[in-house]
Amino acid sequence: MTQHTPAPTPEKAVALLDIVNAILGGWKTIALVTTLIVLGALLFLLIGKPIYQVNALIQIDQSSKGMSSQLAPIEAMLTGTLPSDGEIELIRSRSVVGKAVDQFHLEISTHVKRFFLIGGIAAAINKGVKKPVSPWLWMKSYGWGGEALKIDALSVPKSLFGETLILTALKHNMFKLADPDGKVLFKGKVGEHLSHKQFFIHVSQLRARAGTEFEVVVSSRYDTIINLQRTLEISELGRQSGVIQITYNNSNSALAVGIVNSIIDEHARQNIARKAEEARKTLVFLTTYLPKSKENLALAERALSNFQSQHGTVSIEQETKGLLDRTVMLQSQLEQLKLERQDLRQRFSDFHPNIITLDNKILALEKSLAVESDKMQTLPETQREFLELTREVSVSTEMYTYLMNRTQELRLMEAGTVGDIRIIDRAEKPFEPIFPVPSIVIAVAIFLGLMLGIVIIVLRLSLQHGVKTAEDIETATGGVVYAVLPFTEKQAKLPKSSSLLAKEEPKNVTIEALRSFVVNLHFALVDTKKHSIAISGISPNAGKSFVSANLAYLLAQSGKRVLLVDTDMRKGYLAETFNVKKTPGLSELLASDETSASFLNEVDENLTLITSGHYPPNPVDLLMSQRFVKLMKSWEQDYDFIIMDTPPVLSVADATIIAEQVGSTFLVVRAEENSTEDILAAARRFENINHPVHGYLLNGFVPDLLSVKGYGKYAYYGYGAYTDDK
């Protein structure tokens, strides 16, 4: 047989095209994966808990801050913090958040037990029902919709924190609570306060069938507060705007609204209480300083009056009057800052940023005042004394007026009428959840389905090492592919008996391809003395029996006398294909001295079959016997063609033994399953006995939708696809 030199193929050039072909050809896989994921998304939308988002807005009124409000911008520059930063931390504090935990009993978590997946679907179907639904499949301990449980108080030892307790509904509005070990902790009636040693419980509502179980988990108050703090989102809207937004997400929209409103109400209450306390402390300080300021004012006025009675009216120039105004202003500011420093010193140390800032301002004012005082020293003595007395009166008057006004403000604040927190928007129940959004979930599911389907196909393609085309086989072996048999689903639809595709579907594209092999076979066997043919396969599912049976039928239809022998005495099933008895067959024939006549089955015109017979323990010994050699010689004289259906060559040695007795051997290769390594290994088996493979048949070929290798869809779905009735 002439060997052909392998020619290189541009595998890299068509690698991308192979992927595209695989994706287009695997559209069913992509559709299936996408459908499954979309169904999962729909199920998630049905049974998943929606997440609602609520928010509230509050405003910090900086103008109503205490005596040091004008220092806030300076402190922000020095420390890098803003007044709103402190308010955010106050809102997040345990004292504020803990109020919501206590009000809504967040440390107690309750869930009705539901059967996996089915229970969630049932609850979604029965959503909004105010009466417990009858159990499905007699599973009475699970909830199926309409259940409700509200526990107002539950106290357990620390050892049970985080453990799952089971509350079971009983008849007549009764219930029992058991620990994880099944020990009953409580048994009582709804609405009653039950206590026992370190345990206390009050169930205010229970709506469930008798036997329904609820899972109850009690956490420590501290852990519950920490978890709530983590889920709160508190931020300032705009830098230095003073507007703070509190956002909270929860599957229970009503509970989320209650929690947020409780937090802003408690923060506002504490702010007023804190302001009142600060006002009280400052008021105590000012009331002790106010009499002294009044006395200083009286002394200054008396001194000025005595001076005027002695010297009369002193006229001053416009420039001197300006000097007086500046010194009065500086002295008044200095006195106010000193007063504020004394107030802050009661609460902070000398190293606090506010006090340090005040000290710097006081130092700057003292320097400015010293400059103005030096200017006054240049005036005549009478004018200088008059200016100093007038300055003392003006400064004392301003300080006394400032203290009186500040005292009135602090008295209002102490009475609780003034606070620097204003609630702009309270939390309200949202209409739609923020998650899941059906349109987005479905769109994401479709996208993931398409991507996952493509990934599966690409991975499957990367794991496939089988040949795809006749060109692959010829390049690897240098041999000739006599026929390419397209894959057909009609073969699988035929009944197990009498399931000859060539007989039932003579116009099938696979049979048309096999018919072309019959034509080529006549030319291929011209130089051979024997017209016996061995059809072998590389693997058990290569399709060698399918090829053998249909090839024999087509040869018989052409008028040739054909003998089909099932030499697979291990798993042969040609007897089922032609609906004849399996025994007696080849194994019995080789083990006896009888003639072939009693073992022949006339299955069709010009077509005779010898079945495999019983599966013997030693098929190799039977095939190596002289009996088999003699039978082959007699069959060569009686028939035009002998088709030997052999076992797979890589599985057992039967095929190579049979190849020594036949004229030619053809190897059936399964497309996309048998690799080039397998093909070469099988070919070497025959070459080792000096009976090389005559040719190859590629079975199960699936043409690419975008093929560039010469085996496009038109080559196999052209003429063979037409019949007289279209």
* pLDDT (tens digit per residue) in 97-139: 999 999 999 999 999 999 988 898 888 888 888 899 998 878 8
pLDDT at 397 over 90: no
* Beta pairing partners, 466: 675
Q: Which two tokens stand for residue 248?
A: 């909270």
Cα separation of 587 and 577, whole Å?
A: 18
Q: What is the mean pLDDT of residues 464-478?
A: 87
CA atoms in the 13 A half-sphere facing the CB of 123? 20
Strands 108-112 and 213-218: antiparallel
CB 640 within 8 A of CB 430: no
Q: 639's torsion region: left (phi>0), alpha (psi -120 to 50) or beta?
A: beta
| Residue 147, both tokens | 């259940």
Q: Quote the CA–CA distance of 194 and 186 in Å, as a whole number.
A: 7
**Locate tokens 């809504």: which residue?**
104
Question: Phi-psi bin for 330: left (phi > 0), alpha (psi -120 to 50), beta?
Answer: alpha
pLDDT tens for each residue of 205-227: 999 999 999 999 999 999 999 99
- Token output for 495: 């009944």
- Examine the pLDDT at 492 and tell me if it is beyond 70: no
- So what's the pLDDT on residue 408? 78
Share of the chain above pLDDT 70, in %: 87
Rounded CA-CA distance 567/587 in Å is 9
- Going from the C-alpha of 561 to that of each of 152, 291, 607, 618, 639, the distances in angstroms are 95, 138, 6, 31, 5
For residues 75 and 62, is the Cβ–Cβ distance under 8 A? no
pLDDT for the residue numbered 418: 57
With a cut of 80, say whether residue 96 has pLDDT above it.
yes
Of the two residues 296 and 44, the one the predictor is more confident about is 44
DSSP3 helix / strand / coil % (the chain, rounded to 5): 50, 15, 35
Using CA atoms of 190, 193, 194, 195 in order, give the dihedral in degrees to the nearest 10: 160
The overall average pLDDT reported for the chain is: 84
The vertex-629 CA angle with 626 and 630, nearest 5°, equals 90
pLDDT, tens only, 336-365? 788 778 777 777 788 888 888 888 888 888
* Confidence tier at 17 by pLDDT (50, 70, 90): confident
Cβ count near 139 (within 10 Å): 15
Q: What distance in Å separates the CA atoms of residue 194 and residue 190, rounded to the nearest whole number?
A: 10
Mean pLDDT of the 614-640 span: 92
pLDDT, tens digit (0-9, with 9 covering 90-100), for 61-91? 765 544 444 444 444 444 444 557 788 999 9
Q: Which residues pair with 110 in a beta bridge?
A: 216
Q: Is 134 exposed, middle or buried (0-12, 13-18, 19+ CB in 10 A)?
A: exposed
Q: What is the pLDDT of residue 180?
A: 94
- Please state which of the ranges 11-20, 561-570, 709-718 shows the lowest mean pLDDT: 709-718
Average pLDDT over residues 149-170: 95
Question: What tokens does 688 get?
Answer: 């080792």
The string of pLDDT tens digits covering residues 686-711 is 999 999 999 999 998 887 665 544 44
The mean pLDDT of 379-403, rounded to a whole number, is 75
CA pair distance 190, 150, nearest whole angstrom: 10
Measuring CA to CA, which residue among 696, 685, 671 is closest to residue 474? 696
Confidence of residue 424 (pLDDT cuts 50, 70, 90): very high
* Among 534, 533, 542, 538, CA closest to 648: 538
